[in-house]
Every structure is written in structure tokens, then in C-alpha cells.
Structure 1
Amino acid sequence: MSSEEQAYTILDICSAAEKGDTALLKNVIAAAPHLVRQDTAANDEHQAIHHAVYGGHTEAVRLLLAAGADPLNGIYPHREATTAYAMAQDRGMTDIVEVIDAWLSEHRGASSAGQQFTEAAEAGDYDTLIRMLDGQPDLINATDVRGRTALFKAIDRGTPSMVNLLLDRGTAVDHRDANGESPLAACLFHSWKVPEDQYAVYTAIGGILIGRGAPYTVWAAAAMGDVEGVHRKRDEIEEALQDANDPHPVTVTAFRGHAEALHLLLDAGADPDAPYTINVAGETIDQWGQPLWLACNRGHHEVVELLLKRGARANVALYASGSAVQWPYQAGNRRTADLMFLYGAVGDPLSYCLIGDMAALSEHLAAHPDEGKSLLWSALLAGNETVVEHTLTHEPPVPKEQQFTLLSQAIRGWRIGNLKINNENWDRRSLQRNLERLLDHGFNPNLRNNRTSRADFTILHHLAAKTCNAAAYGHTEEEMINFARVLIDAGADVNALETQLMSTPLAWAARQGNGTLVRYLLSRGADPDLAGSAWATPMAWAERKNHEDI
């Protein structure tokens, strides 16, 4: 790294972008181009393009896009609402929106018709899909702003009939999106959070795609568990291991639970840890163990055993993902959990709190005393009332600067739902009671998120941004309202304004289309007109997001 490159920091490029200082911005980009897509910090995902939008500087946005900025990168924990593109649209920054639209069209083939068509597929709206195709057949390969065709949306939905419809109409089976992902990869390496019965549906869709012309590589054969196919294409394995476009062959094969196919990959020299690196706020961090983590998550004992025997490390390193052994241990899969422990896996306080194993928790903290500092965090996420009550009563008071994160854990814990927890005494209502405990012990419900000065939302805002997802988590509207009630009864300001979206909790609920919460907040005194700007009123959000009922 040159001395000139070292002289510039992420704060320099963000400041130049927000001030519209194009001369400085050009200098920083020329000397340190990596800063264009770098997060401000490990706990702050603001990038320079977000600051260019905050400042309303069209030319700064144009320069950053030309240098590789992504206008669709959002900021945790509300990424969808905080992309540069979304924030410019919401603020009515027409010039910036036009610049981003032109970039998306040139680099990702996006168009308004393509967006409408792919949204129809995402919604499962067959009538609109067919009507649009009948009127404009070339829409079949139109893409959204992320370079994904309607076929990707049909796969995401897990609907074979829509997949077949689109293939019959001529959609490209080998199209790759802006991240280089193919439809087959999206199908066979889908989210692990989908309901159990959907896994077989994705396998069936994978077969459809292959039967309709998706390239049948060694990666595809391994992902489908085709041992003969992997053997026949074994000369392709080394190249597949180096291909960054698709998920690592070992990872997807472990995820799908294909032990025999995995055996062939490992025999060919594949690393059972499937190591890679990620960049977090300019720091390169080594990662390993995703195959083992996913195999443990899915309960594939044979795969877990094979990976461990072939040298996989039992203690994985996956950013913000926890341990691998947590999955079989929490689910009561003693056979796999014991195997992991025998190979040296170390448990974690979150798992012990979920299961209620106080003996294991005590021994763990004795061996790892530093983890006692985050015990309350784990207990809240797990809904462990005993540990929460003990910690609040017998440990030193929690510093004010840590309280917001702990309050949010009860809300985050609520989103765990009933995911494979082997504890007959586990009661999801414990999460609400633990939130009440925090408030009873003096936690302030009007504290602000302190990750950044701009993302200064309250816990009530945070709750309003969470939509009920009964299919994935078993949430109920009653729970959502109970959390709001607990917070407001404890003094949460129902009309608090935050800086980033200039909105109240009511406006956030309106943005999400959460009618039940909108009605409840209005009943508790929420101002239907209050906002930091005209574009941020609850009505403005509801209208922009087409929530007609709100």
C-alpha cells in the first residue's frame, strides 16, 4: 500500500461524498479505490454512497458508481430501507434516482417493466405474468435491479409450476445475476431457514432445471448427490474447487447431505473446511467450516462424521454465525453433538441457556471467564428467565451504553421462534417477560441505537420494522402487540423521531404494511402526521409502498 493510499481513510471518502467535494473524492478514489465499497466500521455498514445521498450530491453518486459502488447495499439491521437507491427514492431525489436507474440499466439490464414482471413472479401472480408475456414476450428474460430474472423469483418461492411456465416461455436457464449466481445454484444452495418440507421441493426444481438444459457440471452432480456423475466428471473437480462463481462444491454437497458424493470430492483433494476470506470494514478475516456448520444445522450425521474424519476443524470460524455444534446440541441430536464434542467442539452460552443446562454453562464460564461479559446477551436471546433474573440481580448494573443492544435482544430472540429447540420447558413468552425484567431494572425504553449517529432508532422503531413471519418463525400478531404494549407502558415514546428515515414508529409500521401495529400505535396516541420531513409521514410511506389498507 502506497503512502498516499495509506493517507486516506474511510472517513475521508465518506466526508467528501456527503459534502459533495468532488475534487477530494476523485483524489481518494484514484489513490485508494478499495474505500469505495468499504463499510465505515465492523458495526456500521454505511459506505460513501450512502453519505452522498444524505448530502444530496448527484455528481458524487455518479463518481462512486463509476468506481464500483453498489447502490443496493443497505445498512444493518434494516438493509432494505437503507440502500442508497431506496433512500434517494424516498427522499424524492429525482436526479440521483435517474443516475442510479441509468447505472442499473447499463450494468444489470434493469428496467421498470422488468421490475414489474419479476415482482409479479415474486408475488406468485400467474395472471399478471401471463398477461405481460402475451403482450411483450421478450420480458421473459427481463431482470430486476439485482440482475435476477423471473425464474430466480419462482425458484425462491419454491413453485415448480411457475418454473415450468417460465421455461416453457423461453427463459434462460443459465442466466447469472449481478453476483454471478445461476438459477441452479440459487435452487440447490437456498436459505437454510426455509421450512423442512421445502427442501424436497428445491431438489425437484433442481431436477427440472437440469432436465431443461442447466449445465450439468461436477458441481451440479455433487449438489444433486449423483455419485456416478461426480465420478464421471472427476476431471472437473479441481477446476470447480477454484470457481468463485458458484458456492464451494464441498459446502453445497454437505448442505444437501450427500455423503458419497462428498467422499469423492474429498478424495480428489478438496479441503473439508472450504476456507475463504471476507472483508469487514477493510480488515481481511479468515473463514472456515461452512460445510460442517450446514451439515450440523441440517442434521446430516454421516456428512458431519465424514468431514471430521477427513480433517475438518470442529470449531468453525464463520462471521456472526455461531458454532456448528450448537445445532445438534440445541435440537437434542445427542449422537451428532457428542461426536462433535469428541472431536473437540466447544459449546457456547447461548446453547446452554436455550437448553437450560446450568451445569454445562457453569463449567463453560469457568473455562472461558471472558464470555461471562456477554452472558446476559445470550440469556436474553435464548429466553432464559433464570439466567436473566440472576444476572440482573447479582451482577453489577449494566452500563447505559450497553442497554440498547440488550433490549433489542428480547426482540431479536422473539424472532428465533420455535426453531429446533430441545427443551420441553422452553416458553416463547419468556422473551416478553425478560423484556419486562430489563425495564423493571431501570433500562430506558427510549434509548437509541448507538451503532451510528444517524441510525438512532428506538426499540419501538425496531419492533415496528419487524413483520410477523408465521411461516418461518411462528410469530403471532398478539405477540407483536404485547411487545409494543410492554414498551409503551414502560414509557416508550410512541412519537419518537429517528434521523435516518426521519420517521416515527408509526411510520415504520406503515412502511412495512403492518396494519395491526399501525392500529395499536394510533390507539396509544401515535401522531398520524408527525415526521421529520414531508416524505416521511406515515401516510407518505403507506402510499409509496402501496399499502392501500393503511
Structure 2
Amino acid sequence: MTRPDALSKNEPLFWSTGSGTDVWAMFCAAKNGDLETIKSLLQKDASLVRGEFEYRTPMAFAVQENQLEAAAYLLAHKASPVKSGTDDTLIQIARDRGYGQMQQLLESAMAQEKGSWQGNEIADAIRHRNLERVEHLLNVSEDYLHARDDSGNQPIHWAVMSRQPDMISLLLSKGADIHAQRPDGARPIQLTNGDYAYRGWRDVPEDAVKPHEIYKILLAHGAYLDICMASLKGDEVRVRELLNDDPSLANRVSDYVSYYPGSGAPLKNAAMAGHINIVKLLLDNGADPNLPEEGIAPKGHALHSAVVCGHHEIVKLLLDHGAYPNVPIESSADTLSAAINREDKAMVELLCSYGAAREIHLLAYYGDIQTAAAVFAANPEKANDPEALENAASEGNDSFVRLMLRYEPELPKRIAVGVKSSGPDEPTKSRELSELLFQHGMNPNYTNWLNVRPMHRFAKRGDLDNAAIFISHGAEINVVDDELCSTPLGWAAKHGKTEMVRFLLENGADPNLPIDKTWAQPISWAKSRGHHEIVSVLEAKRFV
């Protein structure tokens, strides 16, 4: 594991809690089982338990290295027992490596969050809109009424998300808690249009009752209307009443933070729904348009929400109150990109008039060479951006790559990336671009901070074209990373890429590596993931 530049600086991380140096210290302490350092760091900043870099967390390193005491301490301080920042859950990582005690520790922690069989059974009946079945279950046992499923939903949450008035009435008549909170903080009234996993527009029948009708039903049954939902629904009287009682609510992010309406900050909800009078009211009461929503919108979510919903007047109002004009959003690029993708020319011009500009790495990703050319002409140093070059190359933006090389001809020495290929005529073009990057010094064995190389990535996705190109330029294939502790052959076996397995074996891949970790050998991955054809191919090779 090599220390990334961002984790070498004693500065706040953009997408994570904590500073770079503290997050790195947490990673190292978790990896080494240094419990005293973990305690000291969490006493200094309790949020470091959620610290991450490229989605990896302290808990992930503790599990990978079988550090039981460290893992138990992190769990006791509310670390997730599930998320690893990789394709595998933490318990899968422990199971793969044969860490029995770690697996038991995680199972015990998950049992506290995991739903019951009653919760899963009644949730299924509600999703299938089987009122008779639900009523029967409730009559069989009272345990069903508040039983949680594996996602933390109680029956009342499912009845609301699936928008079934009769189901809601039945559950409430039996004593369901109309204010029941899920582990993520969501209450029923915040779920009238579903959530990220169960989406109202996708998963609810078109002829179902509309979300606003469910909202009114919940209010009629006494649901508490907080400032976020009041802002979303345009209830100015209620918002004013709440602010009069507690002005700090203008900057209070709800317990439930997601991309969905009803969560996060009041200003975001009012802006999203187009309620300009409530936006003005919140701003008059000190609402910060740049109020962070952890992990989603570090520079605020209100402006972005107004932009994607096309509320020009609200966007201008927020900008006039100091909103950052181009907000980065997790997994959603940024606000200016959203406006451009919506082909909302007036919105684009409005944002740009307040100083919005896309970062170079996004210009590269989208292939906006005209803007980039002007930027580089004005400030040539802007072309010194390895992430941007990786984006341009990985998306196959040939002209953008050539533009960057004109300013920074040695930049490829700091990257290693497979060029995107799409369509029958693309492989030749992609090879030409790859060859250009190699001519400028691209290292086929370049490693990231977890010692993952391009060949590992190609193996995972079965990218034979780029694997062949990199091997022809000297890419090593019998190398082991620090994440799966496996060779590219192991990665291919784990992910079921049969043709890649054959290709790597033909090119000299050793099926017996790593010697010291049999669980990370290719055949172990193939067996554990049920890739029987790959098992046969590897067995034939191992005993030749």
C-alpha cells in the first residue's frame, strides 16, 4: 500500500470526513491492528470511523488483515459491518480468506441490523400488494407489526413506499408507529416516492395513488411534519412556524440524507420543488446554500437540485446569496454538466455568468475540446492533469488526448489506462491512441496506491484488446496486488472471465500464485464463485 498524495496532506478531504493525514493514519492503524492509535484518532475526531479514500474505509483494512480487536472497536463506534468499498461485502472478504472469527464478529454485528424472517415475509406481501395476506400475518402474530426486513424497513415503510392507502390504514389501526425511523434515519413521511433502492417512478404501478395523496393521508393520521418535508411540499406556514420556534433549523440536515426528496437540507428540498417563497424565507433566516450533505454534496445540494429541476429564478436567487456556481455531486459529475446535458442553454449561461466552469477532468471525460483548448491557451499549466488524461483516453477522446500531449508530452508517464473501444471500427483507432500514449512514456506496469495494475483491471472486465496491447509493451502478468492479493489471472477467475483466463494462461500466467495465500489463487476464486468452466481450465493447466 502506497500513500496517495491526497493522504499526505493535513487538509480536509473533499469527499470524506477528516484530513488526509488522519485518514491515512486510520488506515494504517486498522491494517496493523494498532488499537491505541485508533482510539486516539477517534477521540480527536469521531467522524474518522467513516473516513474513506476511493471508497475504502478503516474497517475494510481491519477485516482484510484479520485485525479482530481493531474491527470490534470500529464496529462499536458505528462502522458499517457491510460496506468494504469493493465489489465484496466485508463478510465475503472474511469468508474468502478463511477468517472464521472475523466472520463471526461481522455476523454478530450484522444480526443487530439484519431484519427478521417475519420482517422479510410481511415486506414481500406488502410489495405484492396482498392486503389479505398482510392482515392474516398480523393476526397470526403481533411480531410482524414492527418487524424489520434486511433493509431496515418496517411494514409501515413498505406500505408508504408502495403507496397503498388501505395497507397504511390497516397497519396504523394495529398500532404501527407512524414516526418509525429506519437505520438510515428515514421516516414514513419521507418515503412517499420511494427511496434509492425502491423507486416510485420505477417500482410502483402506474395506477397507484400519487405520492402527494399518501403524504396527505399520513398527515391526517398525525405524522409529524418536519422542516424538510414542509419545505418540499410548499407548506410555508409550517416552515415559518418551525423557524420561529428554532431558527437553527434553517441549517439542520435531516437524519436521512440521500439523493431523494424529503432528505437532507430544507433549502435543497424547497429549491428542488420550486417553492421560491420558502427558499427566500429560509435564506432570510440564514440558510446556507452551500451547506454540506456528507458523502453526496460537500459544497451544498440546493443549487444543483434547482438546476436539474429547471428552476431558473431559484437558481439565480441562490447564486445571489453566494451559492457555489458549480457544485460537485457524488456519482453525478457537477451542476454545469447537468445543465449542459439537459440542453438548458439559459441555465448554462446563467451559471457561467456567475463563474461556473467545469474542471479539466470533466472536460476530458465529456470530450469538450473547444473549452479545454481555450483554457490551456490561457493557462498551459492546466494541462498538467493526469486524471484528465486518463479520462480522455479511457473514453476514447482521441483529439482531447492529443491536445493535452501538445502541452504536456510527458504526462503519460504518470498514468496507465486502457483506451475505450466501442463499435466494430473502434479497436484500430483505440490501438493507435494506446500506441501514442506508450510513445509518450506510458508505463504498462503503473500501479495505484493499492498496487493494482492495469492488467488487473483488464482481467476483471475481460478486456482482451487492451490486455494484449499492454502485454506487447511489457506488462507483467504474474504480479500480486494489495486488494485481492491476487494476480490478474486471479482477478479474471474471480469475475468469471473465461476467455481472459485462457488468454493469460497462453501468455505465461502462473496459476499457482500467490504461493503463500492459497485462498487468493485463481482456482480458489473460481471455485468460491462457482465458475466451473474456469475451474476445469485451471486444473488442466496446473497439473500439466
**Please, what TM-score do these two structures have when normalized by structure 2?**
0.67
**How much does 1:335 deviate?**
0.6
> Which residue is equivalent to 2:437?
441
> Which residue is equivalent to 2:10?
none
1:439 touches 1:445 (CA, 8 Å); kept in 2? no
Where do residues 445-460 of structure 1 align in structure 2 (5 Å cutoff)? 447=445, 449-452=447-450, 456-460=451-455
**How much does 1:30 deviate?**
5.2
> Which residue is equivalent to 2:467?
487
1:36 touches 1:48 (CA, 8 Å); kept in 2? no
1:248 & 1:301 partners in 2: Cα distance?
20
Indicate how the Cα distance of structure 1 residues 210 and 37 shifts in structure 2: closer, same or farther if over 3 A, else same: same
> Which residue is equivalent to 1:60?
70
**How much does 1:275 deviate?**
2.1
Equivalent residue pairs, number:
485
2:79 & 2:214 partners in 1: Cα distance?
36
Deviation string, structure 1 residues 130-169 (Cα, Å, up to 9, x no partner): 79968877356444677455777898xx7546x9868856
1:297 & 1:531 partners in 2: Cα distance?
50
**Counterpart secondary structure, 1:38:** helix
Indicate how the Cα distance of structure 1 residues 335 and 460 shifts in structure 2: closer, same or farther if over 3 A, else same: same
Deviation string, structure 1 residues 81-115 (Cα, Å, up to 9, x no partner): 2x544422332322222223333444x4x256479
**Please, what TM-score do these two structures have when normalized by structure 1?**
0.67
1:178 to 171, 183, 186: 183
**Counterpart secondary structure, 2:411:** coil
1:238 & 1:65 partners in 2: Cα distance?
35
User: In terms of mean alpha carbon deviation, does 303-312 or 166-175 score higher?
Assistant: 166-175
1:301 & 1:226 partners in 2: Cα distance?
21
Indicate how the Cα distance of structure 1 residues 230 and 27 shifts in structure 2: closer, same or farther if over 3 A, else same: closer
Deviation string, structure 1 residues 363-386 (Cα, Å, up to 9, x no partner): 323444432112524534664321
2:133 & 2:166 partners in 1: Cα distance?
13
**How much does 1:320 deviate?**
8.6
Indicate how the Cα distance of structure 1 residues 165 and 296 shifts in structure 2: closer, same or farther if over 3 A, else same: same
Deviation string, structure 1 residues 468-504 (Cα, Å, up to 9, x no partner): xxxxxxxxxxxx76x4433345427777653322345
> Which residue is equivalent to 1:469?
none
Indicate how the Cα distance of structure 1 residues 458 and 187 shifts in structure 2: closer, same or farther if over 3 A, else same: farther
1:267 & 1:357 partners in 2: Cα distance?
39
Sequence identity (%): 21
**How much does 1:307 deviate?**
1.9
2:399 to 382, 386, 390: 386
1:314 aligns with 2:309: no
1:253 to 250, 265, 270: 270
> Which residue is equivalent to 2:415?
403
1:362 aligns with 2:373: yes
Where do residues 125-140 of structure 1 align in structure 2 (5 Å cutoff)? 138-139=143-144
1:547 & 1:168 partners in 2: Cα distance?
47
2:500 to 521, 524, 527: 521
2:424 & 2:167 partners in 1: Cα distance?
41
1:44 touches 1:451 (CA, 8 Å); kept in 2? no
Structure 2 unpaired stretches of 5+: 1-18, 257-263, 535-544
2:458 touches 2:466 (CA, 8 Å); kept in 1? no
**How much does 1:337 deviate?**
0.7
1:53 touches 1:88 (CA, 8 Å); kept in 2? yes
Amino acid at match of 2:357: V
1:37 touches 1:69 (CA, 8 Å); kept in 2? no
Structure 1 unpaired stretches of 5+: 1-5, 281-285, 415-426, 466-479
**Counterpart secondary structure, 1:379:** helix
2:162 touches 2:200 (CA, 8 Å); kept in 1? no
> Which residue is equivalent to 2:48?
38
Amino acid at match of 2:410: P
Where do residues 522-537 of structure 1 align in structure 2 (5 Å cutoff)? 522=501, 524=503, 532=514, 533-536=517-520
Amino acid at match of 1:524: F
Which of these two proteins has the greater Rg computed from alpha carbons?
2
1:118 touches 1:153 (CA, 8 Å); kept in 2? no
Amino acid at match of 1:312: A
User: In terms of mean alpha carbon deviation, does 340-349 or 500-509 score higher?
Assistant: 500-509
2:384 to 360, 373, 377: 373
> Which residue is equivalent to 1:328?
339
2:96 to 87, 90, 94: 90
Where do residues 235-250 of structure 1 align in structure 2 (5 Å cutoff)? 235=244, 238-244=247-253, 245-246=255-256, 247-250=264-267
**How much does 1:340 deviate?**
1.4
